[in-house]
Amino acid sequence: MKGFKTFVLRGNVVDLAIAVVIAVAFGVVIAAFVKDLVTPLIAALGGKPDFSSLYFTINHSRFLYGDFINAVIAFVIIAAVIYFFVVMPYQAMVERSRKEPPADPTTKKCPECLSEIPKDARRCAFCASPQPV
């Protein structure tokens, strides 16, 4: 039991459990948003007040394709929210952190003639003036 207790009380297991609970609650909120607001709005354009009432019957079996349409809309909204509010900001943060600092310059300007010369040069190749070290 000690090993199980250690496993369950590790930080990443508790964090994962919290994330799952929040994700389920978020899914319920999005499903309600789709069912109560988005679906009636879309259905109003098509003439039906709600998709969930759409079905067809074959041999006394009901096929509720309206509920399936609601589920697909909820999935698309959840996927869009995750993409725009989680994936894109994360990718931008990773991209910013990957930028390498600028490389040290390999050339410098001659103070006399302003020509580009190697950084370690002792004399300018163009005007032959001695270079400060």
At 48, which CATH number?
1.10.1200.120
Q: Are residues 122 and 65 in the same domain?
A: no
Q: Which of 73, 68, 74 is nearest to 27 (CA)?
A: 74
The pLDDT confidence band at residue 67, using thresholds 50, 70 and 90, is confident
Q: Are residues 115 and 88 in the same domain?
A: no
**Count of domains for the chain:** 2
**Considering only 31-35, 45-49, 67-71, which range has the smallest mean pLDDT?**
45-49
Structure pTM?
0.50
Highest mean pLDDT among 21-35, 38-52, 53-67, 68-82: 53-67
- Give the Cα separation of 84 and 59 in Å (integer): 44
- Domain extent, residue 71, equals 2-98
Q: Are residues 23 and 84 in the same domain?
A: yes
Average pLDDT, the chain: 83
Q: Are residues 53 and 79 in the same domain?
A: yes
